[in-house]
C-alpha cells in the first residue's frame, strides 16, 4: 500500500483545504471526534489507531486564533499519547507570526511562545507556508519546512497578464526580498511603496520608488489583514499613473473593516491562497479570488513522509 504509515487529520479551521490535500495524496481524512463543553473547553479523540504511524494534522491558526491553536495542541498531545511515530503539524497559516520580536519595552515575543507550546506538546516537525518572518523557523527546536507560494503566483500572473506592461510592487521596504524574487522569476521590473508617518497620529505619506506610470502594478505581500495598508498603496499607485493595480498575498487574514475597504477601493483584484477559509462577506466584495495550495501542501507532505527534498518544490 502506498504511504501505508501516513495518516492525515484536520481541525476545524479549514476542512475544505484538508479534504483537497487528502484527495491529492490519495488518502482519506482520518476520523476525529471533537466537542466543546459549554464553557468552550475542547475535547478531542482520535478514532483510529495511529500507534507507530506518521500523523499529519492540518490546522491553520487563523480566526478564532486561540481556539484553533488549542485544537492543534490538544491533537498533538493526543497523538503523542497514542504512540504515533511522528507528529507533523501542518500549519498553512501560522498565527502570532507578526510578534516575532520585542517591538517596545515590556512586550512579549509571542511567536516564540507559540513555537515552544507546539514543540513541548510533542510535535516532531512543522510544515507551514510563507512565514511572516523566516527567522521564526529558528524559534522551534524541531525541523520546520517553510514553503513558498511565489511559484503559484508567478504561474497565475503569467497566464493572465501582458508581462510587457506589468511591474511588481512591494508594499513596504520590508517586503523587498519577496517582491524581488517574484519580479526576477517573471523577468519584470520592481517598484517599492515607501511609507512614512511624519508625526504621531498623522496619516501615512506614501512615495513610490520606481516608475509605475502606464503600468499594471501587482502588489505582493505575505498577508493582508485589515487591508488599510493595501488600499493606501493602491491609491498611491493610481495617483502616480498606474493603469491598474492588483495584489497577491499568501494569507488572506482579512479581518475587521477589510471587506468594506476592499469593496470601496480602486483595487482590480486581490488574489489569496486558501490557507485561510474565507467568509461569505469577503467573497461578496467581488474583489477577492482564491487559488489553492492543496497540491503544493500535499506534495510537501508526501516528500516529508518519503524523506525527499522539499526545497525543489519552489526552486
Say yes or no: 39 and 134 in one domain: yes
Q: Looking at the predicted structure, is the pLDDT value of residue 2 above 90? A: no
As a whole number of angstroms, the distance between CA 164 and CA 184 comes to 14
pLDDT at position 195 is 80
- Of the chain, the percentage scoring pLDDT greater than 90 comes to 92
Whether residue 1 lies inside any domain: the answer is: no
Q: Is the dihedral of CA 10, 15, 21, 26 positive or negative?
A: positive
Please give the tally of structural domains in the chain.
2
Q: 248 and 179 share a domain? A: yes
The verdict on whether residue 227 carries a ligand-binding annotation is yes
The residue segments making up the domain with residue 138 are 6-148+294-313
**What CATH number does the domain containing 84 carry?**
3.40.50.2020
Q: Each residue of 162-220: pLDDT tens digit?
A: 999 999 999 988 899 999 999 999 999 999 999 876 766 555 767 999 999 999 999 99
Read off the pLDDT band of 255 (50, 70, 90): very high
Is 226 known to sit in a ligand binding site?
A: yes
- Output the pLDDT for position 197: 65
Statement to judge: residues 27 and 139 lie in one domain: yes
Identify each DSSP E strand in the chain by its residue range.
6-10, 32-36, 42-46, 54-58, 86-91, 125-129, 144-147, 166-170, 190-196, 205-209, 216-224, 244-252, 269-273, 288-291
- 223 three-state secondary structure: strand
CB neighbours (10 Å) of residue 213? 10
302 is an annotated ligand-binding site residue: no
User: What is the C-alpha separation between 68 and 59, in angstroms, rounded?
Assistant: 7
Say if residue 218 is in the same domain as residue 88.
Answer: no
pLDDT at res. 5: 97
57 located within any domain: yes
Residue 136, class by beta-carbon neighbours within 10 Å (0-12 exposed, 13-18 middle, 19+ buried)?
A: buried
Global pTM exceeds 0.75: yes
Residues 232 and 138: their CA atoms lie apart, in Å, by 33
Do 186 and 247 fall within a single domain? yes
* Per annotation, catalytic residue among 195, 204, 213, 280: 195
Determine phi and psi for 19, rounding to 5 degrees: -65, -40
Residues 84 and 113 in one domain: yes
39 within a domain of the structure (yes/no): yes
Rounded Cα distance, 303 and 312, in Å = 10
The pLDDT assigned to 202 comes to 57
Asked if 288 and 249 touch (Cβ cutoff 8 Å), the reply is no
Q: What 3-state class would DSSP assign to 150?
A: helix
**Is the pLDDT reported for residue 1 higher than 60?**
no
98 assigned ligand-binding residue: yes
Grid coordinates belonging to 147: 514553503
287 in the same domain as 156: yes
What helix, strand, coil percent values describe the chain, rounded to 5?
35, 25, 40
Residue 199 is predicted with a pLDDT of 67
Q: Is 99 within any annotated ligand binding site?
A: yes
Model pLDDT for residues 214-244, shown as the tens digit of each residue = 999 999 999 999 999 999 999 999 999 999 9
Same domain, 21 and 97: yes
How far apart are alpha carbons 67 and 51 in whole angstroms? 27
Query: Is residue 136 domain-shared with residue 44, that is, in the same domain?
Result: yes
Dist. CA 8–CA 3, nearest whole Å:
11
Q: How far apart are the first and last CA of the chain?
A: 30
Going edge to edge, which strands form the sheet with 144-147?
6-10, 54-58, 86-91, 125-129, 144-147
176, 138: one domain: no
101 pLDDT higher than 80: yes
Q: Check: CB of residue 95 under 8 Å from CB of residue 69.
A: yes
Beta strand 86-91 with 125-129 is: parallel
- In whole angstroms, give the CA distance from residue 55 to residue 293: 20
195 as an active site residue: the answer is: yes
Q: What CA–CA distance (Å, rounded) separates 177 from 157? A: 18
Amino acid at each position: 500500500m502506498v504511504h501505508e504509515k501516513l495518516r492525515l487529520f484536520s481541525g476545524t479551521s479549514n476542512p475544505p483545504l484538508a479534504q483537497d490535500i487528502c484527495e491529492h495524496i490519495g488518502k482519506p481524512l482520518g476520523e476525529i471526534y471533537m466537542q466543546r463543553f459549554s464553557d468552550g473547553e475542547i475535547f478531542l479523540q482520535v478514532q483510529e489507531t495511529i500507534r507507530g504511524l506518521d500523523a499529519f494534522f492540518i490546522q491553520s491558526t487563523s480566526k478564532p486564533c486561540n481556539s484553533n491553536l488549542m485544537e492543534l495542541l490538544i491533537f498533538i498531545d493526543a497523538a503523542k499519547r497514542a504512540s504515533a511515530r511522528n507528529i507533523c503539524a501542518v500549519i498553512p497559516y501560522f498565527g502570532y507570526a507578526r510578534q516575532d520580536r520585542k517591538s517596545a519595552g515590556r512586550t512579549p515575543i509571542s511567536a516564540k511562545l507559540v513555537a515552544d507550546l507546539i514543540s513541548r506538546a510533542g510535535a516532531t516537525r512543522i510544515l507551514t507556508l510563507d512565514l511572516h518572518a523566516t527567522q521564526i523557523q529558528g524559534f522551534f527546536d524541531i525541523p520546520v519546512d517553510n514553503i513558498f507560494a511565489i511559484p503559484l503566483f508567478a504561474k497565475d500572473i503569467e497566464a493572465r497578464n501582458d508581462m510587457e506592461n506589468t511591474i511588481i510592487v512591494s508594499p513596504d521596504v520590508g517586503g523587498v526580498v519577496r517582491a524581488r524574487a517574484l519580479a526576477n522569476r517573471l523577468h519584470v521590473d520592481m517598484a517599492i511603496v515607501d511609507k512614512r508617518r511624519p508625526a504621531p497620529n498623522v496619516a501615512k505619506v506614501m512615495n513610490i520608488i520606481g516608475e509605475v506610470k502606464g503600468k499594471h502594478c501587482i502588489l505582493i505581500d505575505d498577508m493582508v489583514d485589515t487591508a488599510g495598508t493595501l488600499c493606501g498603496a493602491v491609491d498611491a499607485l493610481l495617483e502616480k499613473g498606474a493603469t491598474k493595480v492588483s495584489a497577491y498575498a499568501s494569507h488572506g487574514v482579512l479581518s475587521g473593516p477589510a471587506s468594506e475597504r476592499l469593496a470601496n477601493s480602486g483595487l482590480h483584484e486581490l488574489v489569496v491562497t486558501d490557507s485561510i477559509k474565507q467568509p461569505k462577506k469577503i467573497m461578496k466584495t467581488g474583489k477577492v479570488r482564491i487559488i489553492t495550495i492543496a497540491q503544493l501542501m500535499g506534495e510537501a507532505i508526501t516528500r516529508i513522509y518519503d524523506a525527499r527534498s522539499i526545497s525543489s518544490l519552489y526552486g
